[in-house]
Structure 1
Amino acid sequence: MVLILHGAPVRAGVDEGELVAAYLYNFSKFIQWPTRAELPLRLCVYGRTEAAPALEALAGKRVQGRRVTVRRRIRGEALEGCHIVYVADSERPFLAPLLHSLAGRPVLTVSEIPEFVAAGGMVRFVRIERRLRFEINAASARAAGLGISSQLLRLAVDVVKE
């Protein structure tokens, strides 16, 4: 399996939401959830984000033999059944309780919120030299029972191990 995620350029005319969706789709190929249920792989988009339409376009694709479904969630809605939660920047003031509610559950959390990884989130998108890159909190993922491929870890600009 080939991993193509090496810093996608962010330029005028490029829909950043589509880049985020491509990253999330590829991330899901390199994450091991504790069980390989036959259930769909559910991506939950939490909060208001311009990337939502691009993320919703992932619905119906297949990852690890599972069909991807996408659900929008607003603050206060349950995140039961989510395998991936993309946390919109609109939820920044409510980040701590949200991450606390997901702690220890096998849910990959992803966001662009600056303090996301330090707060216990698992993957944070960052812009470096006009490229979209990412940081990984491997300790948070491990505590949630998720395995992250070494291939993905090598591509991260920063990895929190403990």
Structure 2
Amino acid sequence: MMAAYLYNFSKFIHWPPRAESLQLCVYGRSESIQALEALTGKQVQGRLMTVVRRSRGESLESCHIVYVADSERPFLAAVLRSLAGRPVLTVSEIPEFVAAGGMVRFVRVERRLRFEINAASARAAGLGISSQLLKLAVDVVRD
């Protein structure tokens, strides 16, 4: 389910014109890795999506989307600081993710997967989020 959300999110983000591919980096240990890896080869806005695993300390330089696994909760501030100001969509399920400056947080609402968006963080990174996507969020931080 999360993989489908991430794939659809990527269609509603206004990416800077810098790469021919769109790389989703899964940072840390995630139970969802196999579902996310299924996105490899999908087309998004004319770009080929690839999925790579990254471990703590590895570079996130080539990433366009970084999914921060719950295993990285103790290091969340450092991860977000390393990506600050770069056009990288940050996504997680960590409860304090949006408040800490992350861009999209998955939440469970009545057994359904929903999401919160920190539009201010996305804007600061040079990413535009479609108003259509913002309307679907359960909460939006605008400034």
Aligned mates of 1:92, 1:129 — CA distance in 2: 24
What is the SS of the residue equivalent to 1:24?
Answer: helix
What's the TM-score, normalizing by structure 2? 0.99
Q: More deviation in 28-37 or 73-82?
A: 28-37
Partner of 2:102: 121
| RMSD between superposed Cα atoms in Å | 0.7
Partner of 1:23: 5
Q: How does 1:31-70 map to 2 (within 5 A)?
A: 31-35=13-17, 37=19, 39-70=20-51
When Rg is computed on C-alpha atoms for both structures, the one with the higher figure is 1
- The unaligned stretches of length 5 or more in structure 1 are 1-18
What is the SS of the residue equivalent to 1:86?
Answer: strand
Partner of 2:69: 88
Aligned mates of 2:41, 2:52 — CA distance in 1: 12
Q: Percent of aligned pairs with the same residue?
A: 82
- The unaligned stretches of length 5 or more in structure 2 are none
Tell me the CA shift for residue 36 of structure 1: 5.1
Give a deviation string over 1:36-75, Cα, whole Å, max 9, x none. 53x2100000000110000001000100000001110000
Partner of 1:79: 60
- Following superposition, which runs of at least 4 residues in structure 1 exceed 2 angstroms of deviation? none
Aligned residue type for 2:17: T
Aligned mates of 2:49, 2:109 — CA distance in 1: 29
Aligned residue type for 1:153: L
Aligned residue type for 2:131: S
Aligned mates of 2:16, 2:51 — CA distance in 1: 20
The number of residues matched between the two structures is 143
